[in-house]
Chain A
Amino acid sequence: MTETQNLTLVQAVRDGLFTEMSADEDVVVLGEDVGKNGGVFRATEGLYDEFGGDRVIDTPLAESGIIGAAVGMAAMGMRPVPECQFSGFMYPGFDQIVSHMSRFRTRSRSRFTLPMTLRAPYGGGIRAPEHHSESKEAFYAHEAGLKVAIPSTPYDAKGMLISAIRDPDPVVFLEPKLIYRAFRGEVPEEDYEVPLGEAITRREGDDIAVFTWGAMTRPTMEAAESLAEEGIECEVVDLRTVSPLDREAIVEAFEKTGRAAVVHEAPKSGGLGAEITATIQEEALLYQEAPVKRITGFDVPFPLYALEDYYLPSAARVEAGVKEAVNFP
C-alpha cells in the first residue's frame, strides 16, 4: 500500500526535487534564494539543510549566468534544475534558453544533450505586477528542442517534475503559482513519473471539448459543473504539457463532441489556443459544428491588480464562451 501525503502543489514540487536529489547526486538546484532561504515560494525549503550548499546553490541575481551555467553543467552530464523566481525573470536569460538550451543537441549530431529542467512560477492571480504574473508558455512552446510542462495538481506536479528531471532533453517547467497553495491533494511518498506529453481528461462530457492547463483548469472545471446543471456536458481536457502537445487527445475529444473551447490566461493572439484550433482544423474539420471558442487573456501587457480579475478568464467567462460554442449557429 502506497503511503501518501496531503500536499499543496508547491510542496509537491519540493517533494519531487527532494526525491530526485536523494536518488541522483548529479541533480543540483541553482537559483536566486534557493539555498538557505528556501526559495521565494518555498519550493526548495529544507533542501539546503539536507543536501548542502554544493547541491543547492545560491547564485547571484543574474539569470543569463544561472541558466547558462546550467547549460554547461548539463553538457558535462549533470542534471541541473535551475530556478527563476518568476517566469518574467527568464527574459534576461532568454538567449541562453533559445540559443543554447534548446539547440546544443541539434548542433552536435545529438552528441551533447542537455538533461536540464528550468523551473519557474508563472501566471497571474496573485496581485503582482506584470512580469510577476504573465503567462508566456507560447514563447517556449514555439522553440523546437524544448519541452514545456505545466502541472495543475499536486500529484502531477511531483510526477511531472520527476519525469522532467529524468528526461534526457531540456524541459521548461512552469508552475502555476496561483494554485501553489490553493488546495491540497494526495501525493505518494514514493517516486513516480507522470509522463510528459500526455493530456488527461478531467471530466467527461458529450457536448463540447474544453482544453486548458495550469491554473485555468479550476475555473474551467467550475464552469463545467455549473453548465452541467443546465444540461451542457463538457469534456475537460487538461493538456498538462503544452510542448509537445498531445494532439491525439485533442482530436479524440473533439471528434467526440464536434465543438471546442480553449481556455488560457495568456493573450489571445499567438497563444496556444490558435495552435489547438489549427490542429482541429487540420485533423478533424469534418467533425466541426461550430467555431472553436478561445477564452483567453487580452492582447495587453498583464494589468496591475485592479484589472487582474477582469483580465483572467473566470468561470463566468468560460461558461459564457462555452454556451456560445454550444449554441452555434
Chain B
Amino acid sequence: MVALTKLRELYADMVTARRYEERLQEEYLEGKQPAFDISAGPIPGELHLAAGQEAAAVGVCHHLRPSDTVTAPHRPHHVAIAKGVDLKRMTAEIFGRETGLGKGKGGHMHLFDPDVNFACSGIIAQGCPPAAGAALAAKKRNEDAVAVAFLGEGAIDQGGFLESLNFASVHDLPVVFVVEDNDWAISMPKERVTDVEDGSKRADGFDMPGVRVDVDDAVAVYEAAGEAVGRARDRNGPTLLEVQVHRRMGHFMGDPQTYRSDADEEAALARDSIERLERELRDRGVDDAELNEVREDAETRVEEAISWAKEQPHPEPGAAHEDVFVNPPSGVTDSEPDFELAGVSGDE
C-alpha cells in the first residue's frame, strides 16, 4: 500500500497542476475573444493544456530524482510541475519574459530546466530519442540515473518512438517510455488511428515489458511506475508504460472540438483522477480541512508564480541574438541590428 504521506504529495502536485492550467487558461483567453485572435493577450501563440492527465505525470515523476532526465511533449506543464521544474521561471517562460527558463524565447512547449534535467520537444515523439541518449550516457558513465520520455498515444505511430523502443531494448537502456493515452490524437479518436487498443502491447515487438494502467488513478500509476523506474534504476532494461488519462479540454486552447461529441467530453470530465484521489484520501482518514489546506497552498503557489511572471520584463530585442552559440562566430550577422528601425524595444 502506498504511504499516506506519498498520497498527499501526489495530490498536492495534481491540484497544483490543475489549478495552474485553469489559471493559464484564464490568462491565455484574455483579449483573444470574441473572434479568436491567437496573437492577442498576455500569452500569445498556442497553449496546449494537459488537464485530466495529471495522474500519469505525478505517478511517474514521484519516483524520480533531479539527476533523472525527463523529456516531455508539447503538453508539458503537469510533467514539469511533477518533475520539480521551477514554477516561477517556467511561468515567466510561458508569458515570454526575460527571466523565463528560456529567456522568453522558447514558450510553453519548450521548457528546459537543467537543474532537474527536464526538456521538452514540441514535435510529438521526438523527445524519445534524446531520452534514450540520456539513458545511454548514464549507463556509459555508470551513474544510476534513469530517463523517462513522455508522449501521447497519438504519437506512438511516429518513427522516433518506435526507433527509440528498439534502441533502448537492444542496448538495455535505463529508460521508461510513458504513453499518456487521452483517447484523442488532435481530432482523431484512438480507434481510427490504430487497431491496437492497448498501446503497451507494442512493447512485445521489442521484447520489452509493456504495462497498461487502465484507469485514471494516480496511485495505480505510482505503483506501476515504481516497478518500471526500479527496473531501469537496477539496470534491468527499459519499460513501456501506457496510462489511461482523459482530455478535459481541446487539443489547444481555442479548439472548438467540433469533432467531439458532448457525451465523450462529459464522460471524460466524469472520470476525474483528482476526485478519485480525494476519495481515497478521505477513505484513509484525511478530512476536508486538510484537503482544503492542500488546495489553498496550491492556489497560493500558482498565484505567486503567475503574478511574479507578469511583473518580469520582456527580453530586450538584442536577446534574439544570444544563446545561439557558446562561442558566437563573427560574421554570422554582418551588421548591428537597428532596433529603432525595426520598431521594437524591450519594456520601456
Contacts and interface: CB of A to CB of B under 8 A. Distances in A.
B160 A95 contact: yes
Contacts of B52: none
Contact of A65 (B71, B112, B166): B166
Contacts of A192: none
A64 B325 contact: no
Nearest to A28: B140
A69 to B, nearest CB: 4
Contacts of A110: 322-323, 326
Contact of A68 (B105, B160, B323): B160
Contact of A76 (B69, B112, B325): B69
Interface string B94-114: 000000011101100010111
Contacts of A71: 129-130, 133
A72 B325 contact: no
Contacts of B134: 72-73, 75-76
Nearest to A71: B130
B121 A279 contact: no
B123 interface: yes
A72 B136 CA distance: 8
A111 B160 CA distance: 25
A106 B114 contact: no
B313 to A, nearest CB: 15
Nearest to B158: A64
A245 B110 CA distance: 29
Contacts of B69: 72, 75-76
Contacts of A111: 112, 114
Given A71-B130, A96-B126, A107-B106, A283 B334 contact: yes
A268 to B, nearest CB: 23
Question: 10 tightest A-B contacts by CB?
Answer: A68-B129, A72-B133, A65-B163, A72-B130, A69-B133, A108-B112, A244-B329, A168-B326, A62-B163, A76-B137
Interface of B: 69, 71, 101-103, 105-106, 110, 112-114, 117, 119-123, 126, 128-138, 140-141, 147, 159-160, 163-164, 166-167, 170-171, 322-327, 329-332, 334
Given A105-B325, A112-B119, A247-B331, 7 more contacts: A68-B133, A75-B133, A107-B105, A109-B323, A144-B324, A168-B327, A169-B327
